[in-house]
């Protein structure tokens, strides 16, 4: 950026720029693409890494992505901008990102900004799969970025909860004692079953493979990018459905808190094992995306004003806790009121959620409110010669329980100690209106 560009608004900064987005078919990736094309309409092109899936070509997958309601506002305001989404065959789980020589050359010659959003957010992924995608995939993106001739910034989407072992999470890199190179070598050498046998010992204090591998990714970026290319790490907290843009309440999955709330609303889940006074640090995906776009612009401003920071790694925490915190007790109380006025279709039972931090009490509730009623109804259905509906629900519930316990275990640390100095400054900046 040229001197004096500190007053350039965000859309102007992105004018004519070529972007590469990994994870563009994911939840956050879709919202990021839509927001960029709608609020920064003069972007030149957005490359997204895709691979053929379910018999669909790359272009058919792009058309499927842009056909969802999320893109309706974009298509009504800047319909021509949909054509700026260009799929590139690639796979983050492959060495070299699975890029052909021709595709790699195109990206090296043209890309200005990389958004690395590809990651597995499943808390029950095998350690091998998580390392290959989240850690080795980040390494491959960083190596590609180092070859790019016109790169202005690499933006890595991390999570505040990859530092659950810290009492205070500041906007800086926290080195880990575990060697990321060794972790990748182990994942490449061992099969999933063997690696999972000692996964808990290897991950030490990390609650799951997701937070562990995201922490390793921050380490490797420090080693591969610091002093070489401009890099930003942004750490959103727990990303949920949109609050406002481009439409309120949009989401395309049932991972994490959304699955938990839907299970409660359907009457499937009736007991939650967690501390009711724990802060639920959720951030709407549209707010997270505004932060991601904003830190791209803000980091460019800061490094333009101070050349000594050009090749430093900047870290931004994106937590909503200091703005609008809520406990799980309060969340369930609000959910109870909402379901009375706007009930779910085909509820299994009258929604009623209880929260306890005592496992014995939780276990008793599971027996009386889940197992016994399910067995009773299945017995009646069996005598009537009908399908075991509750047996199906038990299988779904088992999956929901497992994922939600992993989710709550991962995010149980106090979010009151997440520092967001840069994030707060960003949202108060006069030119942050996008």
- DSSP per residue, 297-332: HHHHHHHHH-GGGTTSEEEEEE-STTTS--BHHHHH
**Alpha carbon distance 57, 61 (integer Å):** 6
- DSSP per residue, 258-272: HHHHHHHHTTS--EE
Local confidence band at 3 (pLDDT 50, 70, 90 cut-offs): very low
**Are 233 and 379 part of one and the same domain?**
no
> What pLDDT digit, counting tens, does each position of 60-75 carry?
999 999 999 999 999 9
Local confidence band at 296 (pLDDT 50, 70, 90 cut-offs): very high
User: Across all residues in the chain, what is the average pLDDT?
Assistant: 85
301 in a structural domain: yes
CB 302 within 8 A of CB 230: no
**Are 247 and 167 part of one and the same domain?**
yes
Who wins on pLDDT, 334 or 31? 31
Residue 409 has pLDDT above 70, yes or no: no
How much is the pLDDT for 326? 81
**Are 385 and 368 part of one and the same domain?**
yes
What pairing do the DSSP bridges indicate for beta strands 231-236 and 153-157? parallel
Residue 410 has pLDDT above 70, yes or no: no
**Alpha carbon distance 76, 25 (integer Å):** 21
Bridge partners, 49 (sequence order):
88
**Are 318 and 377 part of one and the same domain?**
no
Residue 414 has pLDDT above 80, yes or no: no
Long-range pairs, 66-70, Cβ under 8 A, ≥24 = 68/30, 68/252, 69/247, 69/250, 70/30, 70/31, 70/34, 70/246, 70/247, 70/250, 70/252
270 in a structural domain: no
Mean pLDDT lowest among 15-24, 217-226, 299-308, 347-356: 299-308
Peptide bond into 246 cis (omega under 30): yes
How much is the pLDDT for 301? 78
Q: How many domains does the chain have?
A: 2
Percent of the chain with pLDDT over 70: 85
Of the candidates 42, 45, 50, the one whose C-alpha atom is nearest the C-alpha of residue 24 is: 50
Q: What is the mean pLDDT of residues 122-151?
A: 93
Give, in order, the Cα–Cα distances in Å from 27 to each of 8, 24, 313. Answer: 30, 8, 26
**Alpha carbon distance 403, 330 (integer Å):** 22
How much is the pLDDT for 354? 86
How much is the pLDDT for 424? 54
Mean pLDDT lowest among 79-88, 134-143, 147-156, 248-257: 248-257
Q: What is the mean pLDDT of residues 167-195?
A: 89
273 in a structural domain: no
**Are 211 and 337 part of one and the same domain?**
no
Domain that holds residue 353: 328-410
> What pLDDT digit, counting tens, does each position of 260-289 carry?
788 888 887 888 888 888 877 888 999 999
**Are 231 and 295 part of one and the same domain?**
yes
How much is the pLDDT for 401? 57
**Are 221 and 365 part of one and the same domain?**
no
**Are 311 and 335 part of one and the same domain?**
no
How much is the pLDDT for 428? 52
**Are 20 and 64 part of one and the same domain?**
yes
Q: Is the dihedral of CA 68, 71, 75, 76 positive or negative?
A: positive
> What pLDDT digit, counting tens, does each position of 299-326 carry?
887 776 666 666 789 999 887 766 677 8
361 in a structural domain: yes
258 in a structural domain: no
50 in a structural domain: yes
**Are 153 and 41 part of one and the same domain?**
yes
**Are 93 and 124 part of one and the same domain?**
yes
The CATH number that applies at residue 296 is: 3.40.50.720
**Are 296 and 385 part of one and the same domain?**
no
How much is the pLDDT for 47? 98
> What pLDDT digit, counting tens, does each position of 355-405 carry?
888 889 988 988 888 788 878 877 877 788 776 555 445 545 555 555 555
Of the candidates 282, 260, 276, 283, the one whose C-alpha atom is nearest the C-alpha of residue 327 is: 276
389 in a structural domain: yes
269 in a structural domain: no
């Amino acid at each position: 950026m040229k001197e004096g560009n500190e007053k350039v608004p965000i859309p102007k900064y992105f004018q004519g720029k070529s972007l590469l987005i990994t994870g563009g078919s994911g939840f956050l990736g879709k919202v990021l693409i839509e927001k960029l094309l709608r609020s920064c309409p003069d972007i030149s092109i957005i490359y997204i890494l895709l691979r053929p899936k379910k018999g669909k070509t790359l272009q058919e997958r792009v058309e499927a992505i842009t056909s969802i309601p999320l893109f309706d506002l974009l298509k009504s305001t800047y319909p021509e901008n949909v054509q700026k989404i260009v799929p590139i065959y690639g796979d983050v789980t492959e060495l070299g990102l699975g890029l052909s020589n021709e595709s790699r050359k195109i990206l090296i010659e043209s890309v200005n900004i990389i958004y690395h959003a590809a990651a597995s957010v499943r808390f029950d992924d095998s350690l091998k799969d998580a390392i290959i995608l989240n850690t080795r995939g980040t390494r491959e993106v960083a190596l590609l970025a180092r070859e790019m001739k016109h790169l202005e910034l690499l933006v890595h989407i991390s999570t505040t909860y990859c530092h659950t072992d810290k009492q205070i999470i500041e906007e800086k890199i926290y080195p880990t004692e575990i060697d990321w190179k060794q972790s990748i070598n182990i994942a490449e050498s061992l099969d999933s079953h063997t690696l999972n046998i000692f996964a808990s010992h290897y991950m030490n204090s990390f609650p799951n493979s997701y937070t562990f591998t995201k922490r390793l990714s921050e380490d490797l970026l420090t080693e591969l990018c610091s002093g070489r290319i401009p890099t930003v790490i942004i750490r959103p907290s727990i990303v949920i459905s949109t609050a406002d843009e481009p439409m309120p309440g949009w989401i395309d999955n049932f991972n994490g808190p959304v699955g938990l709330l839907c299970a409660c609303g359907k009457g499937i889940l009736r007991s939650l094992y967690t501390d009711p006074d724990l802060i639920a640090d959720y951030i709407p995906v549209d707010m997270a995306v505004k932060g991601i776009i904003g830190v791209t612009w803000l980091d460019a401003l800061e490094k333009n004003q101070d050349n000594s920071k050009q090749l430093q790694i900047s870290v931004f925490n994106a937590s909503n806790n200091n703005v609008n915190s809520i406990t799980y007790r309060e969340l369930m109380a609000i959910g109870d009121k909402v379901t009375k006025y706007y009930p779910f279709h085909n509820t299994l039972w009258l929604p009623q959620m209880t929260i306890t931090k005592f496992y014995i009490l939780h276990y008793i509730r599971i027996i009386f409110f889940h197992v016994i009623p399910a067995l009773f109804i299945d017995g009646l259905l069996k005598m009537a010669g009908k399908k075991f509906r509750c047996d199906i629900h038990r299988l779904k519930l088992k999956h929901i329980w497992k994922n939600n316990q992993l989710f709550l275990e991962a995010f149980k640390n106090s979010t009151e100690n997440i520092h967001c100095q840069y994030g707060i400054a960003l949202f108060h900046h006069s030119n942050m209106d996008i």
